[in-house]
Amino acid sequence: MKKKKTIFAAFVLLLIVVVGGAVAYFTDVDEKTNVFTIGSVNITLTETNWDTTDTTPANGVPDASEGLMPGETVAKNPAIDNESTKNDAYVFIKVVVPCTTETTPQEIFTYTINTDTWTELTGSAVACTSGGTATHVYYYGTGGTLTVLAKASNDTTPTSTSKAVFDNVTVRNTLKGTEGLSGNKSIVVTGYGIQKDGLASVVPATVWTYFSN
Amino acid sequence: MLVKKKLFLIGIIFFIMFSISGIYALTSDVINNTESMVSTSYVDIKLEEYQNGESYTKENEVVVPGEVVPLHVKINNLGLDCYVRAKITYRLNNTEYIESNYINGDYKNWTKKDDYYYYDSILNQSEVINLFDTIQMPDIMLNESFGDKLVVHILVEAVQAKNFDGNWYGVDVKKAVDKSYSMDSDGKSEIIYENNADKYIDIDDGFFNNLGGLLPGDNIEDKITIDNSSSKRIKYFLSIDKKNFNQEEINLLENVNITIKNGKGEEVYKGKLTEFNNLFLGLYNSGSNELIHFIISIPRNLDNEYSKIVTKIIWVFSVEEENSSINPDTWDLQFDWSIVIFIFSALGLLVVMILEKIENDKIVKNEEG
């Protein structure tokens, strides 16, 4: 009896499905497929004048920048190569400088920006902390306008290079022996690039948010 | 000779008489003949995309992570009133993301349920509504996705608003039929009265004059009044003129049902519109005055194959006195009688002419002899 009920229930269910499936109306369907390509930029940071020779002693610190004294200058010219053959780019450089351990700390190294081609991004600087670092961001351009760093034209001319953001760094000459200069001090320079095309905004501060957020 | 001439004259008179009577039989019963079109409607929506006020046609637009691309997506209703729902998928390198995190629009008139956004109201004919306004690119780590493809797929489905019970489950949504069509048809039917049937039937403002833009699930009612003003009992009949239908029209009409009930509520007929001929509606006494109800039903299971069809329904009403010697079963049979009379008249005339010729030949031979 139970089996009969089960069969009957299955039959009713089948009937409902069949009847339900028979319902049709006048209909229409439309569709769109939108394909977006995430832009590609391939950049490298170069320092053509940075002497990396490390022989006396071979300790991981380039000889030319080892044992620097206050007021002494060493060649360092960071620039950006755009190696992409497809996309022009806007580029930025971030410089992180070590600071002294004074109550009012100072940046240990100074440099002079090549302001004819690079501009510090207003509001981006992070001031020194005692024994910490200071940060500066520079955009390739002037007067609030980004300069396009052209794509590499072809494989035989594989790069398109910006001018250097600065050419030398100097050890601040107001430093005193008690300000904790022992050990190695590093300036960290980082390059950023973003494709020129497709940006909703080309205001330097807005474009920088793609990297800072 | 005089007799033969008289016979010849009589033959001509008969010929003319029966010829005219035959033509009269062919035309005299057509009382009302008006242009008419019966049609099925359709659902037709168009998905449109705009950017900066212009149609969006870009392919492979280059974007950057986190970028917000203005893309105004709209649904334009080119057909009749309908319900719509939309499904949006957002894939980066075949990985599906939760689209609501990236698709931005004003959804106050939409309700999200499972994978679909359902528009809360009926989308009226010629109405355009907004689906969304911007697409944001994933805010992913730079360099990791350079060159990757982001695919945003938008699917919009529509179903007729009228007769739809709101249950999308099981609805087989198909693309609208692509052919030209005008929605202006008001759907008037044509009526032919035979044997002066119009004198014994009262039809106010036409019969089924609202068969334009029919939809699955439609039930359309109309009625006639039997008005036997004669002194005799009359039989009433109904036919559909099926001539000149193309295959598409036949396919549609074969799926249209009709129910006919007399004034007592008794079912006279229930079945396909195309499956009766010379249907007996009833025998009514002199002085009878009674309504006959008709219900035309379009089955719910008709799909787009039956949309955008324009056809013509010709209702043929005929009457017959109860003891008429003429079998009124078909209008064609009356026509056949006329033809028979016509043929006999022609044969009679031919015989007379042959006899005349033989007589003339004899006279000529006798004169020569």
At B82-105, the pLDDT tens digits run 999 999 999 988 889 888 888 988
A52 CB burial (10 A radius; 0-12, 13-18, 19+): exposed
Q: Which CATH architecture has domain A43-212?
A: Sandwich (2.60)
Which among A23, A30, A39 is the nearest to B47, CB-wise? A30
Average pLDDT for residues A136-163, to the nearest whole number? 87
Q: Which of residues 68-107 of B touch A (CB under 8 A)?
A: 68-69, 71, 73, 79-80, 82, 92
pLDDT (0 to 100) of residue A151 = 85
This prediction's pTM: 0.63
pLDDT (0 to 100) of residue B93 = 82
Inter-chain CB proximity A36 and B62 less than 8 Å: yes
pLDDT band at A200 (very low <50, low <70, confident <90, very high): confident
For A176, the token pair is 């005193």
Judge whether residue A150 has pLDDT over 60. Answer: yes
Question: Which residues from chain B sit within 8 angstroms of residue A39, using beta carbons?
Answer: 62-64, 146-147
- Sheet with A168-171, strands from edge to edge, namely A73-75, A168-171, A109-110
Name the one residue in this structure whose structure tokens are 């009526």. B191
3-class DSSP state for residue B344? helix
A149, A45 in Cβ contact below 8 A?
no
Closest chain B C-alpha to A23 CA, distance in angstroms = 5
Closest chain A C-alpha to B211 CA, distance in angstroms = 16
A81, A46 in Cβ contact below 8 A?
yes
| B31-40+183-321 to CATH, choices 1.10.10, 1.10.3300, 2.40.160, 2.60.120 | 2.60.120
Judge whether residue A3 has pLDDT over 60. Answer: no
Q: Report, as ranges of residue numbers, the positions in chain B whose pLDDT lies below 50.
A: 1, 17-35, 325-338
Closest chain A C-alpha to B115 CA, distance in angstroms = 15
Inter-chain CB proximity A23 and B66 less than 8 Å: no
The CATH classification number of B45-160 equals 2.60.40
Euclidean distance between CA atoms A77 and A49, whole angstroms: 6
Judge whether residue A144 has pLDDT over 60. Answer: yes
Share of chain A above pLDDT 90, in %: 47
Characterize the bridge pairing of strands B279-284 and A188-195.
unpaired
Domain parsing of chain A, residue ranges: 43-212
Judge whether residue A197 has pLDDT over 90. Answer: no
A152, A134 in Cβ contact below 8 A?
no
Q: Using CA atoms in the order A59, A62, A67, A72, what is the torsion angle rounded to 10 degrees?
A: -170
Least confident of A39-48, A154-163, A174-183: A174-183
pLDDT band at A176 (very low <50, low <70, confident <90, very high): low
Closest chain B C-alpha to A212 CA, distance in angstroms = 11
Chains A, B: CB contacts under 8 A, how many? 169
Alpha helices in B197-299 (DSSP H): 247-253
Q: What angle do CA B86, B90, B94 make, to 5 degrees?
A: 130
Residue type, B35: E
Judge whether residue A34 has pLDDT over 60. Answer: yes
Question: Which residues from chain A sit within 8 angstroms of residue B175, using beta carbons?
Answer: 28-29
Q: What is the largest CA-CA distance in chain A?
A: 104
Judge whether residue A139 has pLDDT over 50. Answer: yes
Contacts 24+ apart (CB under 8 A), A202-207: A202/A90, A202/A145, A202/A146, A203/A144, A204/A119, A204/A121, A204/A139, A204/A141, A204/A144, A204/A145, A204/A146, A205/A121, A205/A122, A205/A123, A205/A124, A207/A90, A207/A92, A207/A139, A207/A146
Q: Residue B94 half-sphere exposure, CB side, CA atoms within 13 Å?
A: 0
Least confident of A89-98, A109-118, B38-47, B239-248: B239-248
Name the one residue in this structure whose structure tokens are 């692509």. B178
> How high is the ipTM of this complex?
0.74
pLDDT (0 to 100) of residue B9 = 61
Question: Which residues from chain A sit within 8 angstroms of residue B44, using beta carbons?
Answer: 28
Mutate to test the interface with A, among B48, B67, B80 (most CBs of A within 10 A): B67
pLDDT (0 to 100) of residue A156 = 62
